[in-house]
């Protein structure tokens, strides 16, 4: 009996264990089913959320395109409306990151269309337009590619042209000896600062950005600015090449305002005197620096660079002399001092064989 009783109890225990194991398995299966259903629901919600975000993104892009379209209609029909000026900086901001901004190309196309218009607004607050010009120049300094820097520069010229045409309709027949008004002088100052920044720090502006200023904005007397024979001091230049570029730009500006003398040419003596002073001072500072054998930005002046500088200056001197009598030529240029500096340079080993110095 005892043996049978033990066997019976053991059997009951085994059956209980089996039942318990079965219950555990059943619970686990139920948990897995619940987990699976929740997991399916989770991924379903994730997919729906992703689709929702994608839909929202497309809606935003579509909305932006719609806004650009409306702005295009406005810009094409309201060339002289001052509100056009308010589009410049926002459109530039939209244009500067073509890889991360879906409407960058559309915004850039609209901007280029706006700033290419010959008709410009002329009724606005001068200080506000000057602020816009400064903002545009700041963007050009930070440009990450040449195309965007060029677009910024053109946008600045568009704004400056609006400011000029607010006061002057045509290019003057006689070259002025001062700026026509304070606002234009302030705008020129912005360009001077950009020029100095370009000369001392690397950015995507080019020599043509500055050399073409007279032909694009001929109403501005650029020969009064620090762009004209400015940044020619090797002591503050980045390297000798930048000094040469400064002379090249100045020669191109000079050539625009002082053409080869023809009958009826109107370049007044006061303007000639301003140019002579700038050329003389710049050349003397440059040659004095070279005569000391000092390095500019860690580099000495090659004879080729010196020859290029002398070529630009001689070109200006000869052109100016067309407008002066022989007696005036002798008194205009401090030739004795310049010759002494050139002789000192010629004694340096680097320049003894320089043909440009002998010439």
Q: Who wins on pLDDT, 85 or 265? A: 85
State which residues form the domain around 310: 221-359
Distance CA 346, CA 160 (A): 45
Residue 246 domain-assigned? yes
Collapsed DSSP state (helix, strand, coil) of residue 201: coil
Query: What's the chain's average pLDDT?
Result: 85
Q: What mean pLDDT do residues 39-63 have?
A: 75
Residue 178 domain-assigned? no
Q: What are phi and psi of 51, to 5 degrees?
A: -65, -40
Residue 241 domain-assigned? yes
2: pLDDT confidence band, cut at 50, 70 and 90? Answer: very low
Domains held by the chain: number: 1
Q: What is the dihedral of CA 161, 162, 167, 170, to 10 degrees?
A: 40
Looking at the DSSP bridge assignments, the partners of residue 299 are: 296
Residue 82 domain-assigned? no
Q: Who wins on pLDDT, 321 or 295? A: 295
131: pLDDT confidence band, cut at 50, 70 and 90? Answer: very high
Residue whose token pair is 């650009």: 68
Q: What mean pLDDT do residues 279-295 have?
A: 93
Secondary structure (DSSP) of 50-87: HHHHHHHHHHHHHHHHHHHHHHHHHHHH-TT-GGGGGG
Q: Who wins on pLDDT, 274 or 12? A: 274
pLDDT of residue 11: 54
20 pLDDT exceeds 70? no
18 pLDDT exceeds 80? no
Collapsed DSSP state (helix, strand, coil) of residue 296: strand
pLDDT of residue 303: 87
**Among 210, 202, 226, 237, CA closest to 309:** 237
Q: Who wins on pLDDT, 82 or 327? A: 82
224 pLDDT exceeds 60? yes
149: pLDDT confidence band, cut at 50, 70 and 90? Answer: very high
pLDDT of residue 32: 73
182 pLDDT exceeds 80? yes
Collapsed DSSP state (helix, strand, coil) of residue 238: coil
5 pLDDT exceeds 80? no
Residue 351 domain-assigned? yes
Residue 29 domain-assigned? no
pLDDT of residue 339: 86
pLDDT in tens, 68-121: 999 999 999 999 999 999 999 999 999 988 776 778 999 999 999 999 999 999
354: pLDDT confidence band, cut at 50, 70 and 90? Answer: confident
Task: Give percent above pLDDT 70 in the chain.
Answer: 87
23 pLDDT exceeds 90? no
Distance CA 258, CA 252 (A): 10
233 pLDDT exceeds 90? yes
Residue 191 domain-assigned? no
Residue 292 domain-assigned? yes
């Amino acid at each position: 009996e005892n043996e049978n009783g033990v066997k019976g109890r053991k059997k009951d225990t085994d059956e209980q264990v089996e039942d318990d194991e079965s219950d555990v398995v059943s619970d686990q299966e139920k948990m897995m089913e619940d987990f699976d259903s929740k997991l399916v629901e989770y991924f379903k919600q994730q997919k729906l959320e992703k689709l929702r975000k994608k839909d929202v993104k497309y809606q935003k892009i579509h909305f932006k395109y719609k806004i650009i379209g409306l702005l295009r209609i406005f810009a094409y029909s309201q060339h002289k409306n001052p509100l056009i000026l308010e589009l410049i900086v926002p459109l530039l901001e939209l244009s500067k990151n073509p890889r991360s901004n879906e409407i960058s190309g559309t915004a850039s196309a609209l901007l280029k269309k706006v700033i290419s218009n010959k008709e410009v607004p002329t009724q606005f607050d001068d200080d506000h337009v000057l602020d816009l010009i400064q903002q545009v120049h700041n963007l050009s300094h930070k440009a990450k590619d040449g195309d965007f820097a060029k677009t910024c520069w053109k946008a600045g010229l568009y704004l400056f042209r609006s400011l000029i045409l607010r006061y002057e309709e045509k290019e003057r027949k006689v070259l002025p000896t001062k700026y026509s008004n304070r606002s234009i002088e302030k705008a020129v100052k912005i360009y001077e600062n950009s020029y100095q920044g370009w000369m001392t720090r690397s950015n995507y502006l080019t020599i043509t950005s500055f050399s073409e200023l007279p032909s694009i904005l001929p109403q501005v007397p650029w020969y009064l600015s620090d762009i004209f024979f400015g940044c020619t001091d090797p002591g503050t230049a980045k390297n000798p090449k930048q000094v040469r570029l400064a002379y090249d730009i100045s020669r191109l500006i000079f050539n625009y305002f002082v053409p080869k003398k023809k009958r009826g040419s109107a370049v007044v003596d006061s303007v000639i005197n301003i140019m002579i002073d700038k050329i003389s001072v710049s050349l003397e500072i440059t040659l004095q620096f070279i005569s000391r054998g000092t390095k500019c930005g860690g580099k000495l002046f090659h004879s080729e660079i010196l020859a290029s500088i002398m070529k630009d200056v001689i070109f200006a001197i000869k052109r100016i002399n067309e407008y002066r009598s022989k007696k005036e030529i002798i008194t205009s240029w401090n030739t004795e001092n310049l010759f002494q500096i050139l002789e000192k340079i010629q004694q340096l080993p680097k320049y003894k064989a320089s043909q440009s110095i002998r010439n």
